[in-house]
Structure 1
Amino acid sequence: MNTLKVGDTVPNFSSQDENGNIVTLNDYKGKKLIVFFYPKASTPGCTAEACDLRDHYEVLQEKGYELLGVSADSAKRQSNFKNKYEFPFSLLADEDKTVINTFGVWGPKKFMGREYDGIHRMTFIINEQGVVERVIDKVKTKAHAAQILEA
């Protein structure tokens, strides 16, 4: 896994959001951006993480942050996830793993003794110039906003 690190400039990317709109990194130029990667929409850990970010969205916005959630789910699955839990932020349907590979979050995982390749739950905090300021690789799903805000 060749994951982006603090100080790296994030290459521009484009992907489809839950509504089929094209979203690019350039859309967020001049803004602070939180990009959080999660393995699968509507699973318990991913739901807890995204709902925690939803519940603290206003505070994150007051601090100047925009949010983008990313998984390899289809646009329909992302749309259902967003609508069911009323997320105020976009979810990218990165089925071809363009964004996932750009950030380097796809790689070997272990679960219950089984090894497989998948998305690592990670969050990247990107400054107004498109440079990674912080990487959270041990995400606390039920207290993720607090992890982001503690910096």
Structure 2
Amino acid sequence: MAFTEEEEGKLRAIIAIYDGQAPSLSDDVAARCPALFAAWDGNGHSYDDGERVSHEGVLYVCLQAHTSQPDWSPTAAPSLWAKVVDYASGGDDPSGIPEWVKPDNENPYPKGAVVRHNGKVWESLVDNNVWEPGAQGTETVWREISEV
């Protein structure tokens, strides 16, 4: 598809706006559009704590400042990178409530996150929640909202 010069100009302007706004996007929005972020570069690129990159179609956040090397990709170096998880999206579920997925220590559920698990809907009562909803001893970190 060929664009007119005017259409190309508008497209460049839209891309510039999105590029400028990408760093300030919340995790739930940013996780849905990893293409707005630069691809991970393993060739001596200097990364800052909190910087986001796309890698293999997934958005990651840098956990500690470092200079990259080829074997420190986001999928290979969990001490350096954490997947940005969209806890607000329900994915393909029409209810809008995502299925609980066991998080890593780098991307726990925040307080207020709502998930489905074992036929029930749960709300996280604490930040940094890595526990399984409904498991013994988790009454103070998850609250059952309803049955699905």
TM-score (norm 2): 0.25
Answer 1 or 2: higher relative contact order, Cα 8 Å, separation at least 6.
1
Bigger-Rg structure (1/2): 2
Name whichever structure is richer in helix by fraction.
Answer: 1
Name whichever structure is richer in strand by fraction.
Answer: 1
